[in-house]
Amino acid sequence: MRRGVNGAAWVAVLAAVGLGMASAAFGGEAEGPRPAIIPQPVSMDVRAGQFRFTPATRIVAEGAAAGEAAKLADALAPAMGCRLQRTAEAGPNTVALAIDASLEASAGGEGYVLEVAADRVTLKASAPAGLFYGIQTLRQLLPPAVFSPAKAADTAWTVPCVRIVDRPRLGWRGLLIDPARHFIPVADVKRFIDAMALHKFNRLQIHLTDNEGWRVEIAAYPELARVGSQMDRTRRRTGGKAPPRFGFYTQADVRELVRYASARHVTLVPEIEMPAHTGAAIVAYPRLSLTPGALADLPPAERWRKVRGVVAPRPATVAFLQDVLAEVVELFPGRYIHIGGDEANTNHWKTSDEMQAQMRRLGLADVHALHSWFIRQMDAFLAKRGRRMVGWDEILQGGLAPGATVMSWHGAEGGITAARAGHDTVMAPTSHTYFDYYQGPREAEPRALGGFIPVEKVYRFEPVPKELTGDQAAHVLGGQAQLWGEFIRDARHREYMAWPRAAALIETLWSPPAGRDEGAFLERLARHLKRLKAAGIHFRPLDAPGA
């Protein structure tokens, strides 16, 4: 780590921003410094002059562009104190949004071309997602006060004249939240999605089940949520200090979250953990356990102390969990369903006569093969329903299921192995993307799981391992950071752990790697944080103690 050097660099960056450094130092051609867009667009040509939004500015949009135009009006309304109206014809003082199918080849579905001239703004994309991302860039071109949820007085709503051509480097730009450990109310999930969307993240993995809680209503097995959401395990882990966060998402809650996320071009990726991290399910349904008898006699509140957190992978358990997945598939329309697959203590299977007999019956050589047998049935079940199964990299042990996408968390190795075998992968290594780890000196930070991943380190994350050939690299769908919830108690704390590190991550996933420049990024980030401040999003300040 070059912490000493970074510390010194920081003082210079912060001083420069504080003094409103002259435009020339930032290479800006027009008035003011070059716009600080995060993630950095593919190309940005800044010209002289500016466009000014006024209450008389009109938005032009037809057909599929109209939905995105309404989101632009919604985004500007609180701070401007007025909602811009639509008009039929592009002319002076208009912002015109249009779907242009011919951009598909150059911009893909998420890219856009944004042109700001002194008298009008034109935004084009081949699909609504591209328009949405162009709008996010346009918001960042405005003064930071535009992110304020309340009317910002005395602000000139100007945008520098620019031409921006942009598209993401990678398609899976994810974050993980963990309501299993500390339940996250629906309103807080929405808040988190808003912050993601303004940074152009597009996947939110929700870790819905674990030893500490089951957080989604399953109609076929009502005890999962009823009993499994009321456990007190996380509290024990935090030494009894944190209040318990009980709760679960009803199916109506899930539908609302899916709708909310999809309006912001975020796909929810539900994670239903199996065969391990299943303590809450076993407490609710002891028949999933290797030793059901010992549990069933206890009252549910006593059971979790005896639960080993791994199910018995017998055919009845497979059927049970497939019933669960059948409902999950109905609730979550996204293509990817995550089945966990990590950290199974298979010793419990080794010492079980029942499992040894089952392995002989199925001709499985060892417990890894048993794990793989179990996971393959989930893969086949999801594939039949047109979905793709995702699992943590332990699903490689004992042989990969044919349709599996591997989420590589023990470093890059799992992803490299998967890509070489022709499987898709998402890079989520503990080295750079575990945002439950410390981001500053321990004594100055809220208690975290361990580790040390400061924002500069996140910015050095390279999601596409250089070991891969071009064809293999095409299997790297993207990357994802994890906000595991053992110690994250509420929305404010979650935001503190997420930002600004996720701002660094998104740039590694969206922007061309050739343009990566840590010093320039940190300078842009200091200015970007004014937007988060205006939006009321909590973050770790760049000048926090020990930075």
**Residues at the contact surface with ligand TNX, assessed by CB under 6 A:** 342-343, 392, 409, 434, 436, 449, 484, 486
Instruction: CB nearer to ligand TNX: give 29 or 490.
Output: 490
Task: Work out how close the CB of 272 gets to ligand TNX at its nearest, in angstroms, rounded to a whole number.
Answer: 13
Residues 6+ apart with CB under 8 A from 60: 69, 86, 87, 88, 89, 90, 94, 95, 96, 97
Q: Yes or no: say if 170 and 477 are a contact pair by the CB < 8 Å rule.
A: yes
Task: Work out how close the CB of 460 gets to ligand TNX at its nearest, in angstroms, rounded to a whole number.
Answer: 20
Q: Yes or no: say if 209 and 273 are a contact pair by the CB < 8 Å rule.
A: yes
Helices (H), 37-92: 65-80
Task: Work out how close the CB of 20 gets to ligand TNX at its nearest, in angstroms, rounded to a whole number.
Answer: 40
Task: Work out how close the CB of 305 gets to ligand TNX at its nearest, in angstroms, rounded to a whole number.
Answer: 19
Choice among 277, 338, 423, 528 that is catalytic? 277
- Chain centroid to Cα 258, Å, comes to 14
Helix (H, G, I), strand (E, B) or coil at 368: helix
Task: Work out how close the CB of 434 gets to ligand TNX at its nearest, in angstroms, rounded to a whole number.
Answer: 5
Specify the DSSP class assigned to residue 111: -
The token pair that represents 237 in the structure block: 């882990």
Choice among 31, 330, 343, 517 that is catalytic? 343
Task: Work out how close the CB of 450 gets to ligand TNX at its nearest, in angstroms, rounded to a whole number.
Answer: 8
Instruction: CB nearer to ligand TNX: give 146 or 406.
Output: 406
The rounded distance, in Å, linking the Cα atoms of 147 and 191 is 13
The 10 Å Cβ neighbour count of residue 351 is 10
Based on the number of CB atoms within 10 Å of its own CB, is 313 exposed (0-12), middle (13-18) or buried (19 or more)?
A: buried
Q: Which residues pair with 97 in a beta bridge?
A: 61, 123
Region for residue 27 given its phi and psi (left: phi exceeds 0; alpha: psi -120 to 50; beta: otherwise)? left
Active site residue 297: no
Q: Which residues pair with 96 in a beta bridge?
A: 60, 122
Q: Which of 322, 238, 247 is nearest to 280 (CA)?
A: 247
The rounded distance, in Å, linking the Cα atoms of 137 and 141 is 6
Q: What is the dihedral of CA 394, 395, 400, 405, to 10 degrees?
A: -110
Task: Work out how close the CB of 392 gets to ligand TNX at its nearest, in angstroms, rounded to a whole number.
Answer: 4
Active site residue 343: yes
Instruction: CB nearer to ligand TNX: give 317 or 433.
Output: 433
The rounded distance, in Å, linking the Cα atoms of 455 and 503 is 9
The rounded distance, in Å, linking the Cα atoms of 380 and 71 is 39
Active site residue 493: no
Radius of gyration of the chain (CA): 25
3-state secondary structure 278-308: CHHHHHHCHHHCCCHHHHHCCCHHHHCCCCC
Task: Work out how close the CB of 177 gets to ligand TNX at its nearest, in angstroms, rounded to a whole number.
Answer: 11
Interstrand relation of 213-214 and 209-210 (parallel, antiparallel or unpaired): antiparallel
Choice among 110, 166, 178, 210 that is catalytic? 210
Task: Work out how close the CB of 486 gets to ligand TNX at its nearest, in angstroms, rounded to a whole number.
Answer: 6
Task: Work out how close the CB of 407 gets to ligand TNX at its nearest, in angstroms, rounded to a whole number.
Answer: 8
Instruction: CB nearer to ligand TNX: give 320 or 392.
Output: 392
Q: Where are the beta strands (DSSP E) in 72-170?
A: 85-86, 94-99, 112-116, 120-125, 158-166
Instruction: CB nearer to ligand TNX: give 160 or 340.
Output: 340
Q: Which amino acid is at 226?
A: R
The token pair that represents 366 in the structure block: 């060892």
Interstrand relation of 58-61 and 94-99 (parallel, antiparallel or unpaired): parallel
Q: How many CA atoms lie within 13 A of 81 on its CB side?
A: 9
Show which residues are catalytic.
Answer: 210, 277, 343
